[in-house]
Structure 1
């Protein structure tokens, strides 16, 4: 075989390999537990976020029980505010020195000062509110369907919607969200699956199996995995669930 023929063969082989890789579908990853931490088993967790100082924001649901609070990693509660009793609290995200908090069926988002949790404004939106996460110059919003919304970070005004797909099919049940760079992580409602989504295309790049996390909550179909928070400057995350007594520091491998 001549040199030119060898190069040609290598080029064809590389092209075939690239084609196979593109058609291989999403990566399949597992949530590997690095550390188990105490959590509040009364919290019907709807949103989880790590603050700049390493403390954790927790948003909880249920009418008459919904609240937003901050805590240390080891479980010491620092600040807490109750939502009005008619609200069912949902996801949260931090934008600069403020925090947005959704409500489920009320079409109302509450804006708070990030340190004190004091309310400083409200916004409205159409349909249900489930999860939120912030990227540069936008907030991503979920409503339990296969669609995600791009929202203005200051007003929460909707800009556009895009559909999340895996192998060409819509992915329903997108719930709690976490934005990390060009990726959006979303847990699939009532399951132990998490998807890593390309924030521009909406395509699922990875399917993460978190079934290995022990669910030590009391037996109840509602007490499912719900709560994803990236730990800044690491490749690790915190995961927990609704009324779980534990929070897990994990890496996806």
Structure 2
């Protein structure tokens, strides 16, 4: 009885090394590409959130004739806010009035770059450094420092007065990302809610929403002067 010999095909060492080399080359090409695609997707999601917030502010102004306020400057993630403080924060106030989503995921940063522990995600331009000052109103324990929110019409009227430091309302920023530069202890006067350390966005810049609801990405070193 005849038996045919079976030949077993196998990779040689050289062929295996060639395959491994090709895999390494492909990985070197694809991994940065995948990372770049993911970063673009996160930036797009961040833009979407900020634009949604800005549009809600404009809708509120249209319905009520004034901007919402008076709020603390940072936007607190809802689960970090005590029940008796919900009217102090933009996030919980706008969520309670059904202008914006109430869930934490909407208010948290799209990627944790070191600020999530602070309970913040975004920042409202609600400071004495804006022009006109504190157009979202100002909270204070000192009665003569309390101001009420104004309307976009009032902002434009203020500009008509010819203040040397004024800008068109569309050029005044409304909302941006929180980081350790614009909400540090030094920037907040030592507030317990400040963000410290090297907590910067992973994009080497921030997204800014303006009063015409456009959102722009601005690189570090080129941020608006009223930060």
TM-score with structure 2 setting the length: 0.33
Which has the larger share of strand? Answer: 1
